[in-house]
Amino acid sequence: MSQGNSKLFAITTALFVVLAIIFFTLSITSIGQFTAQKKRVHHMEQQLLAGKSEILKVPEMIGKLRVADKSNKQLEGQVAELTEASKERKSELNELKKELTTVTIAKLVLETDRAGYTKNLVEARQAVRELREHGSTDYSIDEIEEIPAEPSHEATHEPEASSENIPLKNVWE
């Protein structure tokens, strides 16, 4: 029976060795799966923490966007005001140009009239001289007063007239 016991012992030992190999293989597989699962969990925790920090930045970014939007609206308001002021200045400039044109035309008309007055005065003086030279007594030359060569500015100054009241032709012609 010793031979039977040793056979039984050998079979039992072989059975235990096979079971040990199976358990060892299962344990290594389980440990590998556990380690892989642990790495995945750790990686997911890092992603969650990174996402949490990014999520915490969202209110800060929203605040910055609101400030930027507010300043943008203020700048748009300023641009609109400046555009309106520019249009007003352009209309004022156009009105001033019209007034300048009117004043220039009035000045030219007055200078033309003045030239006509001067021409008439020169002709009148020449006529008086000729009459004096000929000694004509038919005309009362002594009663004619000397007229200055050019009338003074104060004597001929008239209030400004609009271009509508200024005649377009020389009144002496």
Is 172 part of a structural domain of the chain?
no
Is 43 part of a structural domain of the chain?
yes
Is 171 part of a structural domain of the chain?
no
Segment 72-117, tens digit of pLDDT: 999 999 999 999 999 999 999 999 999 999 999 999 989 888 888 8
Around Cβ 118, how many Cβ atoms within 10 Å?
13
pLDDT value of position 24: 95
Is 40 part of a structural domain of the chain?
yes
pLDDT value of position 102: 93
Q: How far apart are CA 128 and CA 145, in angstroms?
A: 10
Q: Which residue has the higher pLDDT, 135 or 103?
A: 103
Structural domain for 103, as ranges: 2-156
Phi, psi of 146, rounded to the nearest 5 degrees: -70, 130
Q: Tell me, what DSSP letter sits at residue 171? A: T
Is 169 part of a structural domain of the chain?
no
Is 168 part of a structural domain of the chain?
no
What is the end-to-end Cα distance of the chain in Å, rounded? 168
Who contacts 103 (Cβ-Cβ below 8 Å, separation ≥6)? Answer: 160
* Torsion over CA: 82, 87, 91, 96 (sign): positive
**pLDDT for residue 136 is more than 70:** no
- Total domain count, the chain: 1
**Degrees to nearest 5, angle at CA 88 with 83 and 90:** 95
Is 22 part of a structural domain of the chain?
yes
Is 33 part of a structural domain of the chain?
yes
What proportion of the chain, given as a percentage, has pLDDT over 90? 46
Segment 19-70, tens digit of pLDDT: 999 999 999 999 999 999 999 999 999 888 888 888 888 888 899 999 999 9
Are the C-beta atoms of residues 120 and 172 closer than 8 Å to each other? yes
